[in-house]
Amino acid sequence: MLHAKDHWIEANDDLERLSTEELVEWALDQDLFGTGAFVWDLCHRLDLGKKILPEIDPSRKGVQMSYFPISLQMTGRRCLVIGGGAVAERKIAGLLEVGATITVVSPDITETIARWSKQNSINFIARRYRPGDVDGYEIVFVATDDAEVNAAAYNEGGERGVWVNAADDPAHCDFILPSVLRRGDLTVAVSSGGSSPALARTIREELEFYFTGEYELLTKLAAEVRDELKRRSIAVPFETWRKALSGDVRQVLMRGDLARARAVLLKDLAVTLE
């Protein structure tokens, strides 16, 4: 694997002079998004502190950069899901994972959604969407193949100040959902701005080979050490944190030695805790 990476860099030294946007455009022409070597090079740029997101000129024809990436607190948030098929099921599964309060409106539902309803994990209303259904909710997810329902729910949400997301229909979305990779509390989200969900998913799947299982342990360890340093009023510069988290601690975690990993991290942070 190292040989493949080295060969990629050695054979493409001239690509290092390209901006990230130029590199992505070149890779699309070469059909390289499915190759591990290309994704490794993007990850290499991330390690160097370079932006992976293209620095696209918003005035460029055909390009719209209007989405602002955020992480939204969803615990207890009142959500309406319109639809009961496979797409709705995926939306509901994700919402249950983050503790949202969910109501589903649909004449038909999958077996899994029916099970959630019987378990009282969700509230189920067995009928089609009606005007006024958006009332009382904070976020609405439309997961039907009915363009009229998409438009009606979106317009109703706009009138009532409710955010609406219609699956595979960016024109009727106040927000879009990225392709998400989770490693415990670490979340890596990839979005194409709604233009190509398949591309976002492809890149996310490639990144799974980079952000392996030890990143969950690394995130937990970093949080624990940070909290302890804050309690002791010990300030550590960001650059020191960056170097420490990029050092030997990852390899130690891969061997499963948590105590040793903590010691290595504290050493690289130049901190001694009695």
Q: Can you point out the beta strands (E) in 75-222? A: 78-82, 101-105, 123-125, 139-142, 163-166, 179-183, 186-190
- Same domain for 161 and 84: yes
- Same domain for 155 and 108: yes
Asked whether residue 201 is domain-assigned, the answer is: no
At which of 172, 202, 227 does a domain end?
Answer: 172
In this prediction, residue 246 carries a pLDDT of 92
Domain harbouring 86, CATH code:
3.40.50.720
Residues 74 and 82: beta-carbon distance below 8 Å: no
Picking from 177, 78, 175, the residue whose alpha carbon sits closest to that of residue 133 is 78
Classify 103 as helix, strand or coil: strand
- Same domain for 220 and 165: no
* pTM reported for the whole predicted model: 0.69
Q: 38 pLDDT exceeds 80?
A: no
At which of 172, 192, 222 does a domain end?
Answer: 172
Give percent of the chain above pLDDT 70. Answer: 76
How many angstroms from the chain centroid is the CA of residue 24? Answer: 20
Q: Mean pLDDT lowest for which of 35-49, 76-90, 111-125, 217-231?
A: 35-49
Asked whether residue 155 is domain-assigned, the answer is: yes
Give percent of the chain above pLDDT 90. Answer: 66
The count of domains in the chain is: 3
Residues 18 and 27: beta-carbon distance below 8 Å: no
In this prediction, residue 197 carries a pLDDT of 86
Structural domain boundaries enclosing 95: 78-172
Q: What is the pLDDT of residues 75-98, one digit of tens each?
A: 999 999 999 999 999 999 999 999
- Between 88 and 213, name the one with better pLDDT: 88
Asked whether residue 208 is domain-assigned, the answer is: no
- Same domain for 167 and 83: yes
- Same domain for 84 and 31: no
Non-local (6+) Cβ contacts of 142 within 8 A are 82, 83, 149, 150, 153, 154, 164, 165, 166, 167, 169, 172
Asked whether residue 186 is domain-assigned, the answer is: no
- Same domain for 235 and 158: no
Picking from 135, 173, 170, 126, the residue whose alpha carbon sits closest to that of residue 154 is 173
Distance (Å, rounded) from C-alpha 199 to C-alpha 109? 29
Asked whether residue 205 is domain-assigned, the answer is: no
In this prediction, residue 238 carries a pLDDT of 95
